Amino acid sequence: LGWIAWPFLWQKDSTWKPAGTKEGFVSKHHQTLFWEFAGMVMLKLGLTEGEKILLMVLFNAQQWGVFGLVSNLGSIVLRLLFAPIEEIAYSVFSAASLDPEKPDSRKAQVSLLRALLLLQGGVGWLGLCFGPSFA
């Protein structure tokens, strides 16, 4: 990657500049967008892999294994429970967005959204209330 980017970033020869621009090969606006995107990528990497780094630094191998087992088993249960609800909501809301002229459609969407939030919130509260006692 460095071999490809080298001529564009560090070589000041005018042969790399496109005709009609004084900024060089990449405009300042695009450079700003690139650095914003790079920052978002680094933030996402830190948030997704940060728990693994903290586990490696702060805990021993046995505690790390227990965390991995509980995390994977918990995510399987939640995927099996919430994936059908997510698919139903996606299909209903995307089908209703194709015909936005129906006034009853909006009320039905709000009613369905409330029901789904109540269902998922109830499952979450059950897990929060009874989960620690069964752990």
Q: Quick one: pLDDT at residue 100?
A: 63
Concatenated DSSP letters of 71-120: HHHHHHHHHHHHHHHHHHHHHHHHHHHH-TT-HHHHHHHHHHHHHHHHHH
pLDDT for 48: 87
Q: Are 16 and 8 in contact (CB under 8 A)?
A: yes
Q: Are 21 and 27 in contact (CB under 8 A)?
A: yes
Please tell me the predicted confidence (pLDDT) of residue 43: 93
| Span 104-117, pLDDT tens digits | 777 888 888 899 88
On whether the CB atoms of residues 108 and 96 are closer than 8 A, the answer is: yes
Q: What is the pLDDT of residue 127?
A: 84
φ, ψ (nearest 5 deg) of residue 50:
-65, -35
Q: Which residues of the chain have pLDDT under 70?
A: 1-25, 97-101, 103, 135
Res 75: pLDDT: 82
The structure tokens 């496109």 sit at 18
Q: What is the pLDDT of residue 42?
A: 93
pLDDT at 10: 56
